[in-house]
Structure 1
Amino acid sequence: MSSLPRSTPEAQGLTATVLDDFVAALDASSQEIQTVMLVKNGHVVLEEEWSPYRLADPHLLFSVSKSFTSMAVGLAIEAGLLTLDDKVVSFFTADELPATIGEHLAAMEVRHLLTMTTGHSEDTVEALTRDRRMVRIFLGLEVEHAPGTAFVYNSGATYMLSAILQRLTGERLLDYLRPRLFEPLGVTEATWDVSREGITTGGWGLSISTESLAKFGQFLLQRGEWEGRQLVPAAWIDEATAGQVDNSHRDTADWRVGYGYQFWRARHNAYRGDGAFGQFCLVLPDHDTAVIITSAGSDMQATMDTIWAHLLPALEGRAPETPLAPRPEKLELLPPTGPAPTAGDGRTYTFEPTVTGLVAVRLDPDGTGTFTLSSGQGTQEIRCAPGDWQEQYDVLQEPKQRIVTSAHGGDGTFTATIRFLETPFVATFTCRPADQGMTVDAAVNVAFGPTEHTLTSL
Structure 2
Amino acid sequence: MTARPLPLAAPAARGVDASGVHAFLDALEAAPDIEPHSLMILRHGHLVASGWWAPYTASRPQLLYSLSKSFTATAAALAEAEGLIDFDAPVLSYFPEFEADITDPRSRAILVRHVASMASGHEGETVDEAYATDPAEPVRGFLLLPPQRDPGTVFAYNQPNTYTLAAIVQRVTGQSLTAYLRPRLLDPLGVGEALWLRDGTGREIGFSGLHAATDAVARLGLLYLDDGVWQGRRLLPEGWVARASRPHIPTAGAMGERDRQDWDRGYGHQFWMSRHGYRGDGAYGQFCLVLPEHDAVIAATAATERMQDYLDLVWRHLLPAFRPGPLPGREAADGALRERLQRLALPPAEGGPVPPGRAGDWSAAVFTPYGGVCADQPTLTEVRVTGGDGDDWTLSLTDARHRLDARFGAKEWAVTEQPLPAAVSGGWADAGTLAVDVVFLETPHRLHVTCSLTDRTFTARWGTRPLHGRSLLALRAPRGAV
- Assess same fold via TM > 0.5: yes
Which is worse superposed, 168-177 or 351-360?
Answer: 351-360
* Counterparts of 1:311 and 1:213, CA distance in 2: 18
Instruction: Work out the CA distance in 2 between the residues paired with 1:285 and 1:349.
Output: 54
Q: CA separation in 2, counterparts of 1:8 and 1:406?
A: 35
State the alpha-carbon separation in 1 of the partners of residues 100 and 396 from structure 2. 46
Question: What is the distance in 1 between the residues matched to 2:171 and 2:141?
Answer: 17
Pair 1:254-2:262 in alignment: yes
After superposition, the Cα gap between the structure-2 partners of 1:317 and 1:183, relative to the gap in structure 1 and judged at 3 Å, is closer
1:420-439 residue CA offsets vs partner (Å, 9 max, x unmatched): 1121100112122455xx32
Matches within 5 A, 1:256-275: 256-268=264-276, 270-275=277-282
2:421 match: 402
Partner of 2:413: 389
TM-score by length of 2: 0.84
Q: How many angstroms apart in 2 are the aligned matches of 1:334 and 1:98?
A: 58
Given the alignment of the two structures, is residue 372 of structure 1 paired with residue 373 of structure 2, yes or no? Answer: no
SS in 1 for 2:181: helix
Matched with 1:420 is 440
Comparing 99-108 and 65-74, the one that deviates more: 99-108
Q: Is the 2:383–2:398 Cα contact (8 Å) retained in structure 1? A: no
The 3-state SS of whatever aligns with 2:74 is helix
1:361–1:369 contact (8 Å) kept in structure 2: no
Could you list the per-position Cα deviations for residues 3-61 of structure 1 after superposition, in whole angstroms to 9, with x for gaps in the alignment? 11000111111222232222222222231111101000000111111111112221111
Deviations for 1:214-234, whole angstroms, at most 9, x for unmatched residues?
Answer: 111111111111122211113
Distance apart, 1:152 and its partner CA: 0.5
Gap change, CA 1:100 and 1:34, over 3 Å in 2: closer
Whole-Å separation in 1 of the counterparts to 2:378 and 2:288? 30
Is the Cα contact below 8 Å between 2:65 and 2:208 reproduced in 1?
yes
Return the TM-score normalized by structure 1: 0.88
Q: Contact 1:384–1:407 at 8 Å: present in 2 too?
A: no
The size of the alignment, in residue pairs, is 432
1:102 aligns with 2:124: no
Change beyond 3 A, Cα 1:146–1:334: same
Q: Tell me the CA shift for residue 337 of structure 1.
A: 1.5
- Distance, in Å, in 2 between the alignment partners of 1:107 and 1:310 is 45
Residues 307-328 of structure 1, C-alpha deviation per residue, up to 9 Å, x if partnerless? 111111222569xxxxxxx989
Between the aligned partners of 2:102 and 2:408, the Cα distance in structure 1 is 59
Q: How far apart are the structure 2 equivalents of 1:206 and 1:362?
A: 33
Show the counterpart of 1:113: 115
- What SS does the aligned partner of 1:311 have? helix
Match of 2:290 among 283, 286, 290: 283
Give the 3-state SS of the residue equivalent to 1:219 in structure 2: helix
Out of 85, 108, 113, the position equivalent to 2:88 is 85
Structure 2 unaligned residues grouped into runs of 5+:
326-335, 468-482
Task: Give the CA deviation at 1:353.
Answer: 8.9
In the TM superposition, what whole-angstrom CA distance separates every residue of 1:103-151 from its partner, at most 9, and x where no partner exists?
1101111011011011112112233455454223212223221111100
Which of 216, 227, 231 is equivalent to 1:212? Answer: 216
Q: Decide which of 328, 340, 364 is 1:346's aligned counterpart.
A: 364
% identical equivalent positions? 36
Structure 2 SS opposite 1:184: helix
Identify if the C-alpha distance between structure 1 residues 314 and 385 changes in structure 2 by more than 3 Å, giving closer, same or farther: closer
Q: 1:389 to 1:83 in 2, by over 3 A?
A: same
- Which structure 2 residues correspond to residues 59-458 of structure 1 after superposition, within 5 A? 59-94=62-97, 96=98, 99-129=101-131, 131-250=135-254, 251=257, 252-268=260-276, 270-315=277-322, 330-341=343-354, 343-344=361-362, 346-348=364-366, 355-364=377-386, 366=388, 368-374=393-399, 379-387=402-410, 388-395=412-419, 401-411=420-430, 412-434=432-454, 438-447=456-465
Give the partner amino acid of 1:271. Answer: Y
What amino acid is the match of 2:284?
Answer: F
Q: 1:373 to 1:137 in 2, by over 3 A?
A: farther
Q: Whole-Å Cα distance in 2 between the matches of residues 193 and 172 of structure 1?
A: 11
When the two chains are superposed, the root-mean-square deviation of aligned CA atoms in Å is 2.5
The amino acid across from 2:271 in the alignment is: F
Indicate how the Cα distance of structure 1 residues 109 and 394 shifts in structure 2: closer, same or farther if over 3 A, else same: farther
The change in CA–CA distance for 1:426 and 1:448 in structure 2 (over 3 A counts) is closer
Amino acid at match of 2:48: V
Residues 194-229 of structure 1: CA distance to partner in whole angstroms, max 9, x if unpaired?
111111110101111112211111111111111222
Which residue of structure 2 aligns with residue 323 of structure 1? none
DSSP 3-state at the match of 2:239: helix
1:407 offset after TM fit, Å? 2.8
SS of corresponding position for 2:253: coil
SS in 2 for 1:362: strand
Q: Output the CA distance in 2 between the equivalents of 1:353 and 1:135.
A: 34
Q: Distance in 1 between matches of 2:297 and 2:187?
A: 20
Is the Cα–Cα contact under 8 Å of residues 424 and 446 in structure 1 kept in the other structure? yes
Moved more, 401-410 or 171-180: 401-410
Distance in 2 (CA, whole Å) between partners of 1:111 and 1:89 is 13
Instruction: Report the CA distance shift for 1:417/1:384 in structure 2 as closer, same or farther (over 3 A).
Output: farther
State the structure with bigger RCO (CA 8 A, min sep 6), 1 or 2.
Answer: 2
Q: How far off its partner does 1:70 sit?
A: 0.7
> Contact 1:97 / 1:140 at 8 angstroms: preserved in 2?
no
What amino acid maps onto 2:460 in structure 1? A
Letter in 1 for 2:346: L
Contact 2:17 2:322 in 1 (8 A): no
For residues 411-458 of structure 1, the C-alpha deviation after alignment (integer angstroms, 9 at most, x for no partner) is: 5122221111121100112122455xx322110101268xxxxxxxxx
Secondary structure of 1:254's aligned partner: helix
**How far is 1:184 from its partner?**
0.5
